[in-house]
Amino acid sequence: MLLSLLLTLLFSLVGALPTPASAVVGGTPVPAARYPWLAAVGSPVFLVRASGQFCGGVLTAPDRLLTAAHCVDLFRAVPWLLTATFGRDDLGGTGGETVQVKAVRVHPGYRETSFKGETVGHHDLAVLTLARPVRRGVAVLDRPGSARTGEIAGWGGTSANDLFNTRLRAANVPVHGNAVCERAYGDSFDGADMLCAGSATFDSCEFDSGGPLLVRGRVVALTSWGYGCARPGYPGVYARLGSLP
């Protein structure tokens, strides 16, 4: 029974997780110490990535991690299959610390639609409770305000076809107003719980959904979805933090 469940989860993850936007295109390697609150969210059943990583997360309390709902929705009944790894520059290494997850709480308004074959997450937020507290700084959350520039960070691919990058990277990205996002995505974009950022040079891509969009060093949104990676006219879409689960 347990083996069957693990195999089902593995095949579901392999098929489902690479779709949403989630990594850093055009970024440069950075030390994990720059973001002590940033975690690589993964699972030992996700064998296709170093450290089992498939998403990112933001520490908001010693035992609480904020991430994207679409990353962890499959694990609500088996949260102990999830891990959060902090302080690791390269997921192929052994630095930092890894903590098991004991509970998953998904935003009650979370739902999925689609845009040109890409999964669209609405209220794409979830909170993970860690099995033990970690002793490290927590992220400061804020609203984006009128900012026009932000910063993204993650361990994912550097292009749509890059499944093997394991280095933490970061990039500065333009933050767009709702009108730009609506022109790109039409009714799939909801400015009440989404914002968009990025360009054809710097953008989010695969394997870091749930990672941060920062403005002035504060987390204002989490990587959620997008149409391709750094595709002209289609910036990445991020989940606003206005209504946490």
In a domain, 218, yes or no: yes
**CA angle 218-179-155, nearest 5°?**
40
Largest CA distance in the chain: 52
Q: For residue range 140-183, what is the model confidence (pLDDT) as tens digits?
A: 999 999 999 999 999 976 666 666 778 999 999 999 999 999 99
Average model confidence (pLDDT) for the chain?
88
Instruction: Output the domain CATH number for residue 215.
Output: 2.40.10.10
State the pTM of this model.
0.89
Give the model's pLDDT for residue 117. 93
Q: Is the pLDDT of residue 86 over 80?
A: yes
In a domain, 31, yes or no: no
In a domain, 210, yes or no: yes
Number of domains in the chain: 1
In a domain, 233, yes or no: yes
In a domain, 161, yes or no: yes
* Residue 146 neighbours by CB distance under 10 Å: 7
- What element of type H or E holds 14? helix 2-16
Q: Is the pLDDT of residue 208 over 90?
A: no
In a domain, 71, yes or no: no
For 1-10, b/e burial (b = at least 16 CB within 10 A) is eeeeeeeebb
In a domain, 208, yes or no: yes
- So which residues are the catalytic ones? 70, 124, 209
In a domain, 101, yes or no: no
Domain residues for the domain of 187 are 149-240
